[in-house]
């Protein structure tokens, strides 16, 4: 099943509130659209990143363990269909009755190639009988117009979400993380993506060093102003083999505590529109790879705390959103 209907409900009273939710959770949005559970299956299509291979910079973002996709270390992976089958088999252990999946092109920058390389990768995933759509993670400086034309064409026949790693609107923070682009790059990508039939999702990180509470809420207000379709939020967390790991070990960076994160996240969601799908509210990594903070490995605990904070305030996503 596929279509190009947007996930966003046009109802004045959001359906997610009628369903007793405090924010527009992604699994709820997917159920609205597909009428059944849909899970993402991650695909590593062998991309690298211009922030790693030297095109923009070397070394990548300070929090990213990019050794695994640096050009010299790229290992052959199972084919696209093989990866989908393997991921579905794993997910079936948990979601026995789930039969519909989004192929999620996840590691590195998944539009960082010419169109004639990208097209067969995306078409192959779509040809899997249980794949009902695509999610593609990328950087805002990796979407030239001919790539956007391809994504628009795909979105005419399937659900497609394009995820841009925005991270923050503050250029000093983007410099700190060695992002290799500034906020104007994100705005440019959104402006050129708009109206092409796919969902525009932004990743944002809370708890970046040098950002105070007001700075983080400024990012929320900017996302509301730009009016993207979806957001993925998580705290800054630390994995092995990264520059961030060295900075944390040296005491140069302090990672956000859980209570601070929960309060800030709720403040953030109160300021974005109720139509913005919230694809993620916390982050984690495989335990053998993860360094901290340890609280974010308890995803259910974080989710419960966020819902509890909304309830304590008798609040919800968009409560403090104002049209400007
Ligand atoms: S842009 Fe993404 S893939 Fe590239 S280094 Fe940064 S986090 Fe890693």
**Segments of the chain with pLDDT less than 70:** 1-12, 67-77, 324
Please, are residues 201 and 231 in contact by the beta-carbon 8 Å criterion? yes
User: What is the whole-number distance in angstroms between the Cα of residue 204 and the centre of ligand 1?
Assistant: 13
Q: How far is the CA of 238 from the centre of ligand 1 (A)?
A: 14
Q: Render pLDDT for 223-282 as a digit per residue (tens, 0 to 9).
A: 999 989 999 999 999 999 999 999 999 999 999 999 999 999 999 999 999 999 999 999
User: How many angstroms is it from 127 CA to the middle of ligand 1?
Assistant: 28
The answer as to CATH 3.40.50.300 being correct for domain 15-313 is no
Q: Which residues line ligand 1 (CB under 6 A)?
A: 49, 51-52, 60-61, 64, 66, 108-109, 139, 165
Measuring from atom 5 of ligand 1, which residue has the nearest CA?
60
Which of 235, 216, 222 lies closest to 284, judged by CA? 235
pTM, two decimal places:
0.93
For the chain, the domains span: 15-313
Structure tokens given for 49: 């990143």
pLDDT value of position 77:
66
Provide the pLDDT for residue 10. 46
Cα separation, 130 vs 102, whole angstroms:
8
Backbone φ and ψ for 215, nearest 5 degrees, come out as -65, -45
* DSSP per residue, 229-296: SEEEEEE--EESSSHHHHHHHTTS--PPPHHHHHHHHHHHHHTS-TTSEEEES-----TTTEEE-GGG
């Amino acid at each position: 099943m596929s279509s190009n209907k947007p996930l966003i409900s046009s109802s004045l009273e959001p359906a997610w509130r009628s369903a007793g939710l405090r924010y527009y959770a992604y699994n709820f949005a997917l159920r609205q659209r597909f009428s059944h559970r849909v899970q993402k299956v991650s695909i590593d299509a062998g991309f690298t990143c211009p922030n790693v291979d030297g095109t923009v910079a070397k070394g990548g973002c300070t929090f990213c363990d990019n050794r695994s996709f640096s050009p010299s270390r790229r290992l052959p992976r199972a084919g696209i269909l093989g990866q989908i089958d393997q991921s579905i088999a794993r997910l079936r252990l948990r979601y026995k009755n789930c039969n519909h999946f989004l192929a999620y092109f996840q590691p590195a920058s998944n539009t960082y190639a010419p169109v004639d390389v990208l097209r067969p990768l995306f078409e192959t995933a779509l040809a899997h009988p249980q794949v009902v759509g695509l999610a593609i993670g990328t950087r805002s400086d990796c979407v030239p117009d001919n790539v956007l034309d391809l994504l628009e064409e795909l979105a005419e026949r399937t659900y497609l979400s394009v995820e841009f790693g925005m991270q923050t609107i503050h250029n000093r923070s983007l410099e700190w993380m060695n992002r290799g682009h500034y906020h104007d790059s994100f705005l440019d990508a959104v402006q050129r993506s708009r109206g092409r039939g796919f969902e525009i999702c932004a990743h944002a990180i809370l708890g970046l060093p040098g950002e105070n509470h007001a700075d983080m809420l400024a990012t929320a207000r900017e996302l509301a102003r730009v009016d993207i379709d979806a957001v993925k939020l998580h705290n800054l967390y630390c994995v092995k083999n990264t520059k961030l790991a060295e900075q944390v070990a040296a005491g140069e960076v302090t990672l956000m505590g859980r209570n601070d994160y929960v309060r800030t996240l709720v403040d953030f969601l109160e300021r974005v529109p109720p139509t913005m799908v919230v694809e993620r509210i916390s982050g984690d990594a495989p335990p053998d790879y993860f360094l901290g903070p340890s609280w974010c490995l308890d995803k259910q605990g974080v989710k419960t705390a966020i819902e509890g904070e909304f309830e304590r305030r008798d609040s919800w996503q968009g409560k403090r959103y104002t049209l400007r």
